[in-house]
Structure 1
Amino acid sequence: MPVSLRILVTRPQPSAAVTAARLEAMGHQIVLLPVMEAIHQPQAALDALAHPHSAIAVTSAEVFRALAPYKAQLAPHLQTTVYCVGPATAQAARHMGFQSVVAGSGTGVSLAQIAAAASSDLTGGLVYLAGWPRSPAFEAGLQAAGIACRTAETYRMSTIAHAPEAVEQLLHPPGPDVALLYSHETARHFFALLPPQIARSISGMRLLCLSQHVANAIPPGFGPVAIAAEPSEEALLALL
C-alpha cells in the first residue's frame, strides 16, 4: 500500500489547489502555503500586441489567466503562432483559442532555440508576454539569434505577507514530510518567512525541486534535496 505523506505545496493559487487535488487523489495529506501571488497587468500585453509582430512567446500559463477576461480583444491574434515554454503553457494557449501553438521542453533556453530555428519566419519580431521576476535566458537567446523582441510584463509575482504565527501553526511539529518547490523566487521567499524555531524543526524535510535553479535558492542546512529529471510536475511528483 502506498505511503501517505504530508506534503507542503508552496506554489501560487490557483495552481496550488490543482496540485493539492492531484496529491489528495494519490492518498497524501496536503499543507497549503502559497508564498506568492500573481498581480495581473493585462493591458501591458494588449498594448504590445497592438504593434506589428510575427509571433508571440509565453513562458508561463499565468499569462493566459491574466488575459482570460479579454478574449474578445485577443480575437485578431488567435491565428498568430504562439511559442510556449512547455506542454502546460501550450495547453493553456489552446484553451484560450490560439490555433498555431508550438511547445518547448520546459526551459527558456530550449524555447529560444526553437525560435532561432524558425527565425526566417520571425522577421517581424516576437511579442514576449512575460512575468516578473523571470529568468533572462529566453530573451538572451533571442538576442543571440538576432530576433527582435518586445517584452510585455503581463503579471508580477508579489510576496504574500504571512504572519509568523500562521506559518508556525501550519508547519508545527511533526511538520510536513516533503515540500514541493516550483520556482527560485518561491523557494527563496519560503525560507525567508520561516520563524527560527520552525526552520530548525523542518530542516530535515525532503525538498523536491523543479530544477537546479530552484534548488540553488535553498539555504545551507536544509534537505535532503532532489531535482526533477525535467521541468514538469509529472517529473517532480515522480520523486515522491
Structure 2
Amino acid sequence: MRVLVTRPRPTAERTAARLGSMGHEAVILPLMQAQHLAGAVRAALSEPHQAIAVTSAEAVRVLGSLGSGLEQHLATPLFAVGEATARAAGDLGFTDIRIGPGTGEGLAETVAAHLPLGGTLAYLAGSPRTDGFERSLHGRRIGHRTVECYRMTPVHYPAETLPGLVRAGPFDAVLLYSRETARRLVAGLRESGLEPADLAARFLCLSWPIREILPADLACEIAAAPDEESLFTLL
C-alpha cells in the first residue's frame, strides 16, 4: 500500500521505516513542526514539585534537550500518558515511570492513585492541546502547574505540493495523528483545489477527536486505541 504519513519529524521517519518493513510504500509530508521551549522546562523544574507529567513524546524530547541538567530529575516520579511516551522517558533515564491508558482523563486517574496527598505536579504540555487532562486534574483537586514546553506550528508547502503527490493516483491511506494535523490537511486540500477522494481512498485517525475535524461525509476509520499499533492494525 502507498501511505501518506503526516506526523512531524523525527517521528515521521520512524513511522515510515516501520511501514517499509511491513511492505508498504511510505511518503512523508509533515504538516506541523515543534518549537521547543527548553528554558520554560528548566524554570519549571527548578520550582518545588513531587512529580512530572507528560502527555506526548514531544514533551519528553524537550526534556532530553536539557542535557546534563536533567540528571537530578531522573528519579522524580514521571506520569506518562501511554506506553510510547513512557518508553521515550525510559530511554532518557527516568527510573520511576507510571503509565496511563493513553488518554488525558485516564492519566489523571493514574496520577490520583499515586501522587501523594498535597503533592504538586509539573505538567509539561504542548500548544495547542486538548484540555482533558487539566480538566480532570482540576476536578480531582490535584495541585499542578502547566508549563508549555513546545508549540506546534504549521509547515507551509506550495499549493502544487498535494496535486504533485497524487499525480500518479491517490494514496491507499493517509495516517492522521492529531487534530491540528487534520485541520492543516483540510486547509491544504482546499487551497490545492482537491477533494479528499483525490488524495486518498482511506483516512485513518488515531482518535475520535481527530475524526471530528474532518468533513462529516468523509470515509474515515478510527484506531481502537490511541496508539500507533492500533492505527497500523487498520491498514
TM-score by length of structure 2 reads: 0.95
What secondary structure is seen at the aligned counterpart in 2 of 1:56? strand
Q: Check 1:50–1:92 CA distance in 2 against 1; reply closer, same or farther (3 A cut).
A: same
**Structure 2 residue 149 is matched with structure 1 residue 154:** yes
Cα deviation for residue 75 of structure 1 reads: 1.4
CA distance in 1, matches of 2:207, 2:196: 24
Cα deviation for residue 197 of structure 1 reads: 3.6
- Of the candidates 178, 191, 198, which is equivalent to residue 183 of structure 1? 178
CA distance in 2, matches of 1:146, 1:128: 14
**Structure 2 residue 93 is matched with structure 1 residue 97:** yes
**Structure 2 residue 142 is matched with structure 1 residue 142:** no
- Of the candidates 12, 17, 39, which is equivalent to residue 16 of structure 1? 12
- Of the candidates 65, 87, 96, which is equivalent to residue 69 of structure 1? 65
Q: Deviations over 1:171-202 (max 9, x none)?
A: 33412110111111111111111145422552
Cα deviation for residue 140 of structure 1 reads: 0.7
Cα deviation for residue 122 of structure 1 reads: 4.9
What secondary structure is seen at the aligned counterpart in 2 of 1:143? helix
Aligned AA for 2:145? R
CA distance in 2, matches of 1:151, 1:219: 32
TM-score by length of structure 1 reads: 0.93
Aligned AA for 1:190? L
Aligned AA for 2:30? P
Match of 1:125 in 2: 120
Cα deviation for residue 203 of structure 1 reads: 6.3
Cα deviation for residue 165 of structure 1 reads: 1.3
CA distance in 1, matches of 2:132, 2:188: 28
Cα deviation for residue 45 of structure 1 reads: 0.8
Matches of residues 1-240 of structure 1 in structure 2 within 5 Å? Answer: 5-119=1-115, 121-194=116-189, 195-199=191-195, 201-202=197-198, 205-222=201-218, 224-240=219-235
What secondary structure is seen at the aligned counterpart in 1 of 2:35? strand
Aligned AA for 1:149? H
Cα deviation for residue 55 of structure 1 reads: 0.4
Checking the alignment, whether the CA contact within 8 Å between 2:125 and 2:149 is kept in structure 1 is: yes
Q: Deviations over 1:117-137 (max 9, x none)?
A: 224x15231000111111100
What is the total number of aligned residue pairs between the two structures? 234
Structure 1 unaligned residues grouped into runs of 5+: none
Checking the alignment, whether the CA contact within 8 Å between 2:54 and 2:123 is kept in structure 1 is: yes
Checking the alignment, whether the CA contact within 8 Å between 2:123 and 2:147 is kept in structure 1 is: yes
Checking the alignment, whether the CA contact within 8 Å between 1:54 and 1:122 is kept in structure 2 is: no
Checking the alignment, whether the CA contact within 8 Å between 2:175 and 2:205 is kept in structure 1 is: yes
Q: Check 1:72–1:23 CA distance in 2 against 1; reply closer, same or farther (3 A cut).
A: same
CA distance in 2, matches of 1:34, 1:166: 12
Mean Cα deviation higher: 60-69 or 29-38: 60-69
Checking the alignment, whether the CA contact within 8 Å between 1:203 and 1:221 is kept in structure 2 is: no
CA distance in 1, matches of 2:183, 2:117: 36
What secondary structure is seen at the aligned counterpart in 2 of 1:198? coil
Aligned AA for 1:226? E
User: Identity across aligned pairs (percent)?
Assistant: 45
